[in-house]
Structure 1
Amino acid sequence: MLPTLRGRIETRLFLIIVVGLPVTLLYALFVGGLPYDGGLLLMLLGVLLALLVVGVILDPLYILIQRLRWDRDWPFAYQFFFSIIEFVIVLSLASLEWIPWLDEFAFQRGETIRLASFHFAWVFLIGFVLLLGPLAVLFVRWRYKGGRFGRL
């Protein structure tokens, strides 16, 4: 379980850094426009951090579910479904004000929830497509080493 857990966490961090941060910056610039004050960017980065934390907390559960499957694989349909579940958990925690680094009133308004949802959709879809396509081609052996980049 530990090599696979380490690999899942490495992959999650890699996608957040390589895909999540640039997409977040571009999205905040596009939505916020110029001149830019940074409040929206900080909120979106807070959501990205919350998604990372919730995902890392849920990764051991995903591995247990994965072990119940006959091929011990994690289909991309599961990844798609559980990513949406993670986002719903983050939105729920944020609306209950249980995420300390997010503004306490940010998720009480519909506009903020809409912006965060579109942000999540962009980050997730771009990361999902990259994981299925270019990253799978560039890191062929990565999948067979428990998802760990250090063991290519």
Structure 2
Amino acid sequence: MKLGIFEKNKSIFLVLGIITGFVFIVAFSALYVSDAIQKNNACGCVIPIPYMILILSSLGIFVGSAAYYFTVSKYVKEGKTRNDNINYTLNFLEPKERKIVNELIKSKSGLKQSELEKLTGFHKVKVHRILNKLEASEIITKETNGKINKIKLNPHLKEVFE
């Protein structure tokens, strides 16, 4: 069971190992340089101090890049999986319904019915019929304010798609 925890967080452990190694190398180098300075032998180091600074700076950039790569790659994979799951979830809808729901997901705060007509390119009667069907399925909610209909995703579905 503990192997499963390690496998889930393998990239985090790798990043921590790389950073720990880098900190060890910097600490050892600082000790080496301070020892050479105390003995008044700063120029007699095996590796001259300016080269050591250059090497440690380059190593720091490499460690930072590696840490960024390993941590971000995990989140990019999760984001792609999430988008695939959203598309898979919407497959139960007809293509025209899916187009309207996708526009509502993009808007996040809801859209007016007239805006949906413009975004989807559907005629207003077609949009009205599709919205009635989606409302009957409890996928959307309609708020009427006079002649203006504000269309929103059902709050429970909105949580799923965020």
TM-score normalised to the size of structure 2?
0.24
TM-score normalised to the size of structure 1?
0.25
**More strand as a share of residues:** 2
Structure with greater Cα Rg: 2
